[in-house]
Amino acid sequence: MLQVYNTYSLQKEKFTPQVSGKILMYLCGPTVYNYIHIGNARSAVAFDTIRRYLEWRGYEVNFVSNFTDLGDKVIAQGEKEGLTEQEVADKYAEAFHQDAGQLNVKPATTRPRATEYMAEMVRFVERLIEQGQAYEVDGDVYFSTTKFENYTALSHQKMSELEENAAGRLGDDDQEHKQDPTDFALWKKETRPNVTAWPSPWGPGRPGWHLECSVMNDELLGETIDIHAGGVDLTFPHHTNELAQSESYHHRQFVRYWLHNGFVNVNDEKMSKSLGNFVTIHDLLQTDIDPQGLRFFLTKTHYRRPISYSQDRLDQSQKELDRLYRTYQALERAKASSDGEIISQEVLSRVAELDAAFIQAMDDDFNTENALTVIFDAANFANRLLQEDASLADLKTLQERLQTWLGIFGIENLLPVKGITAEQQDLLDQRQAAREAKDFATSDALRDKLLITGLIVRDSPQGQSWEFVDKSE
- What residue numbers does the annotated binding site for Zn(2+) cover? 28, 213, 238, 242
Min dist CB 458 to Zn ion, Å, is 56
Of 52 and 210, CB closest to Zn ion? 210
Q: Which stretch binds Zn ion (CB under 5 A): 160-168, 170-178, 211-219, 302-310?
A: 211-219
CB of 96 to Zn ion, least distance (A): 15
Sole window of 87-95, 98-106, 179-187, 213-221 interacting with Zn ion (rule: CB under 5 A): 213-221
Q: Least distance to Zn ion from the beta carbon of 127, Å?
A: 20
| SS3 annotation, the chain | CCEEEECCCCEEEECCCCECCEEEEEECCCECCCCCEHHHHHHHHHHHHHHHHHHHCCCEEEEEECEECCCHHHHHHHHHHCCCHHHHHHHHHHHHHHHHHHCCCCCCCECCEHHHHHHHHHHHHHHHHHCCCEEEECCEEEECHHHCCCCCCCCCCCHHHHHHHHHHHCCHHHHHHCCCCCCEEEEEECCCCCCCCECCCCCCEEECHHHHHHHHHHHHCCCCEEEEEEEHHHHHHHHHHHHHHHHHHHCCCCEEEEEEECCEEECCEECCCCCCCCCEHHHHHHCCCCHHHHHHHHHCCCCCCCEEECHHHHHHHHHHHHHHHHHHHHHHHHHHCCCCCCCCHHHHHHHHHHHHHHHHHHHECCCHHHHHHHHHHHHHHHHHHHHCCCCHHHHHHHHHHHHHHHHHCCCCCCCCCCCCCHHHHHHHHHHHHHHHCCCHHHHHHHHHHHHHCCEEEEEECCEEEEEECCCCC
- Judged by beta carbon, residue 261 or residue 301, the one nearer Zn ion is 261
CB 282, min distance to Zn ion, A? 23
Closest approach of Zn ion to the CB of residue 41, in Å: 17
**Using the rule CB under 5 A, is 428 a contact of Zn ion?**
no
Q: Residue 200 or residue 245: which is nearer to Zn ion going by CB?
A: 245
When the beta carbons of 166 and 213 are compared against Zn ion, the nearer one is 213
Among 25, 28, 114, 128, binds Zn ion (CB under 5 A): 28
Window of 21-29, 78-86, 108-116, 289-297 that interacts with Zn ion by CB under 5 A: 21-29
Cβ distance to Zn ion smaller for residue 216 or 408? 216
Considering beta carbons, is residue 239 or 326 the nearer one to Zn ion?
A: 239
Q: Does 213 bind Zn ion (CB under 5 A)?
A: yes
25 lines the binding site for Zn ion (CB under 5 A):
no
Distance of closest approach, residue 442 Cβ to Zn ion, in angstroms: 58
Mark the segment that binds Zn ion (CB under 5 A) among 212-220, 266-274, 323-331, 445-453. 212-220
Interface with Zn ion (CB under 5 A):
28, 213
